[in-house]
Amino acid sequence: MARLLTFFIALVALTQSPTYKIGDRVEAHDIGWYKGAVTIIGTGTNQGQYFVKYDDFSTGRYFSPSNLRPGAPPAAPKSYPAYNLGDHVEGYDFGWHPATVTEIRAGKNAPEYLIKYEKFASSRWYHPKDMRSAAAAAIAKAPVPASTTGPRPGKYNIYSYGAVANNPLYLGHLEILAGGQYRASRTSSGPYYGEGTYRFNAAASAVEWLTGPYATPDWDGKFSEEAGRHRIALRARTIATNSP
């Protein structure tokens, strides 16, 4: 009898739902797995549930423990170069545009820079992630051999660019996989709405989409490299980029 009781207690322990505390990093399952953190422990009608704030969205919701699993800590913030007033730089908006830094202000995540374009009668605030120095621009513009291997495997963030004064619109990401495979997502981490196959045409320096959601006449695949960044042109103002 004692052995049976011990077995029953162990079985109950194994089937108990995991518990989390505020601040715990988790992944929540809602169609796909999304990274986030526990911010509220449910009470009342939400008793036994946890409110998870997503990393990639400005929202969150309550989850039962069965739809949660432990998650990894968030990646360390990326560092960017600093610029001074009068520095000659280039700002990226559907191409690199020469400019001069005319004002600096503290932004939410990093300093921001107002740059005056050389070829346009306008200025715009830039985050340093979309800027490069004149020296870096010169290196990037140096002739490089055409690629014979094509885009490296990895995640390619997709942006659609409008007029110079507008910020790019994030459209999700494309993941190039080994063996001529790819898959596409409308978010930064999944789920994936489609997958297919591709091949790289070295002579044309272009990705040719063979099957899957990109295998239509509407989708381009022109490939280029610039300062280590791999770039795939998807449409007239839509590109996918991967940086090392």
pLDDT exceeds 60 at position 3:
no
> What DSSP state is assigned to residue 150?
-
Looking at the domain assignment, is residue 225 inside a domain? yes
* 132 and 167 housed in the same domain: no
- Tally the residues of the chain: 244
Looking at the domain assignment, is residue 189 inside a domain? yes
CATH code: domain of residue 56? 2.30.30.140
* 107 and 136 housed in the same domain: yes
Tell me how far apart the terminal alpha carbons of the chain are, to the nearest angstrom: 62
Amino acid (1-letter code) at residue 197:
T
Looking at the domain assignment, is residue 81 inside a domain? no
Residue 138: in which H helix or E strand, if any?
helix 134-141
Which pLDDT band, with edges at 50, 70 and 90, does 199 fall under?
very high
Average pLDDT, integer, range 202-206:
88
* 118 and 52 housed in the same domain: no
Looking at the domain assignment, is residue 80 inside a domain? no
CATH code: domain of residue 124? 2.30.30
Q: Is 48 left (phi over 0), alpha (psi -120 to 50) or beta?
A: left
pLDDT exceeds 80 at position 233:
yes
Which pLDDT band, with edges at 50, 70 and 90, does 83 fall under?
very high
Q: Among residues 78, 84, 120, 90, which one has the least CA distance to residue 104? A: 84
In tens, the pLDDT along 123-142 reads: 999 988 888 998 888 876 77
pLDDT number for residue 75: 66
pLDDT number for residue 135: 86
DSSP 11-55: HHHHHSPP---TT-EEEEEESEEEEEEEEEE--GGGTT-EEEEES
* 236 and 164 housed in the same domain: yes
Domain that holds residue 104: 88-141
Looking at the domain assignment, is residue 9 inside a domain? no
> What DSSP state is assigned to residue 49?
-
Helix, strand, coil tally for the chain in percent (to 5) = 15, 45, 40
Q: Which of 97, 116, 141 is the last residue of a domain?
A: 141
pLDDT number for residue 166: 60
CATH code: domain of residue 201? 2.40.128
Number of domains in the chain: 3
Which pLDDT band, with edges at 50, 70 and 90, does 175 fall under?
very high
Looking at the domain assignment, is residue 6 inside a domain? no
pLDDT number for residue 12: 44
Average pLDDT, integer, range 63-76:
84
What whole-number distance in Å separates Cα of residue 83 and Cα of residue 81? 7
In tens, the pLDDT along 90-102 reads: 998 878 899 999 9
What whole-number distance in Å separates Cα of residue 18 and Cα of residue 199? 45
